[in-house]
């Protein structure tokens, strides 16, 4: 029996404000299963690293680089999203509409709020590709 090697990850994003479907493939820098959770990391570009943690009930992510984003998503809950940049720190709210957590496939659909007003609906999908 051959061992599966995790090769890369497809990251897909779309939103109401920019409905073009964008899918990028990145080499995984780190992938670990831990009980019912998964932790993974990839470089989005030379300046930004992304860390994603998934368990049975939520997805949490950090995008670190010249600007940073911290967020986590639980179905039907409003959570804080922090964006740090040279221009200051911004606190936004997100409300998760849909959360799909399957082996190697993680999807979140959330409404993004600025103060009390919904400003966008965003879909993010992380799909791990395997090589046998």
> In the numeric block, which tokens belong to residue 124?
């993010």
Domain positions in the chain: 5-131
Q: What is 5-131's CATH topology? A: Lipocalin (2.40.128)
pTM: 0.89
Q: Render each residue's pLDDT in the chain as its tens digit; 132 residues.
A: 444 566 899 999 999 999 899 999 999 999 999 888 999 999 999 999 999 999 999 999 999 999 999 999 999 999 999 999 999 999 999 999 999 999 999 999 999 999 889 999 999 999 998 753
Query: How far from 70 is each of 4, 11, 50, 93, 117, CA to CA, in Å?
Result: 31, 17, 10, 11, 20
13 forms beta bridges with 22, 124
């Amino acid at each position: 029996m051959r061992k599966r090697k995790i090769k890369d990850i497809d990251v897909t994003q779309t939103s109401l404000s920019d409905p073009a479907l964008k899918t990028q493939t990145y080499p995984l820098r780190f992938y670990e299963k831990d009980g019912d959770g998964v932790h993974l990391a990839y470089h989005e570009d030379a300046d930004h690293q992304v860390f994603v943690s998934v368990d049975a009930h939520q997805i949490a992510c950090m995008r670190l680089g010249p600007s940073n984003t911290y967020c986590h998503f639980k179905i039907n809950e409003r959570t804080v999203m922090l964006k740090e940049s040279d221009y200051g720190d911004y606190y936004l709210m997100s409300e998760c509409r849909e959360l799909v957590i399957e082996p190697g496939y993680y999807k979140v659909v959330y409404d993004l709020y600025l103060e009390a007003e919904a400003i966008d609906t965003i879909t993010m999908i992380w799909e791990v590709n395997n090589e046998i």
